[in-house]
Structure 1
Amino acid sequence: MERVTITLEDELLEKFDKLIEAKGYKNRSEGIRDALRSLLAEEEVSSNDEAKCVGCVVYMYNHKERTLSSRLVEEHHHHHDIPAATLHLHVDAENCLETTVLNGTVKQVRSMANRITSQTGVKHGWLHIVPLDD
């Protein structure tokens, strides 16, 4: 491990110290390492469509929407090599929330997440991508 020195404005450091305390980091170094990892991961998934990754798409839908449940299942079966696992939760009498873990390239994962969240009847959808180290 290498030691580095950085210079930060007082206001920026104060905000950072509050953030790492709220998040439970033991020290500034841990917070900075995490911030750097996050920045590098974001750059990897935004600049390399062929990078290997896992993604988690979270979406809420009305299960009474005509044929939506079967369309979602068909989407998963049609691209059986990308979805890894799905968790289904009944939120209330009409709404369901699902999280599906996707595994593939950034391009494949984004495409699959878009096919899921763009279905008529899906109310909300978010994708979180984590690049895999080579």
Structure 2
Amino acid sequence: MTVVSVSMPESLLDRIDEFAEGHGYTGRSEVVREAARNLLGEFEDRKLEGRSLLGVVTVLFSYETSNAEERMMRLRHEHESLVTSNFHNHVGNHYCMELFVLEGSLEEISTFVGKIRATQDTLTVDYSVLPVDDFGAELTSDDHGHDH
């Protein structure tokens, strides 16, 4: 197996070590390998390929210590044909939440989410996707992981 050197903040390394110990992993390498597999597999859902999708992306960041807000604005304009709506909200005294509603292909949405995740100083990035052609169909909680 190839050894890779990765830079990360000490606080993240501590969290990985605690997670490994608390969840029965053999060590931090096993946690990082599983996290990488999960991240790479996120957008490989064959049932979503070739379909028009609705995506919702939420991002939380500190507005005092970063230029993440400026980056969000640039991404919104860069992906103008994908972003159908955008909402900005202040959370508490120090944070901002950015919500993007997207309509496009799996590849377009995954590219957008990747760019959001690559933005320095984002605290959380969460998203969901739903095929637009399912809107008229009877949906069950088994189809998409939530009740309708």
TM-score (norm: length of structure 2) = 0.56
Any gaps of 5 or more consecutive residues in structure 1? 1-44
Deviation at 1:54, TM superposition (A): 0.7
The structure 1 segments of at least 4 consecutive aligned residues displaced by more than 3 Å after TM superposition are none
Question: Which protein is bigger by CA-based radius of gyration?
Answer: 1
- The 5-angstrom pairing of residues 72-83 of structure 1 reads 72-83=72-83
- The 5-angstrom pairing of residues 88-107 of structure 1 reads 88-107=88-107
Aligned residue for 1:24? none
**CA distance in structure 2 between the partners assigned to 1:120 and 1:87 by the alignment:** 20
Aligned residue for 2:113? 113
Any gaps of 5 or more consecutive residues in structure 2? 1-43, 135-148
**CA distance in structure 1 between the partners assigned to 2:105 and 2:79 by the alignment:** 13
Aligned residue for 1:36? none
SS in structure 1 at match of 2:133: coil
Aligned residue for 1:46? 45
Aligned residue for 1:57? 57
TM-score (norm: length of structure 1) = 0.61
Aligned residue for 1:17? none
**CA distance in structure 1 between the partners assigned to 2:68 and 2:59 by the alignment:** 13
Deviation at 1:67, TM superposition (A): 2.4
1:86-128 per-position Cα deviation (integer Å, ceiling 9, x unaligned): 1211111211112110110011012112211321011101110
**CA distance in structure 2 between the partners assigned to 1:79 and 1:90 by the alignment:** 23
Deviation at 1:66, TM superposition (A): 3.4
- The 1:90/1:79 distance shift into structure 2, 3 A limit, reads same
Identity of aligned residues (%): 19
Higher relative contact order (CA 8 A, sep 6+): 1
**CA distance in structure 2 between the partners assigned to 1:110 and 1:69 by the alignment:** 20
Deviation at 1:65, TM superposition (A): 3.2
The RMSD of aligned alpha carbons is 1.7
- Structure 1 contact 50–107 (Cα < 8 Å) conserved: no
1:18-38 per-position Cα deviation (integer Å, ceiling 9, x unaligned): xxxxxxxxxxxxxxxxxxxxx
Aligned residues: 90
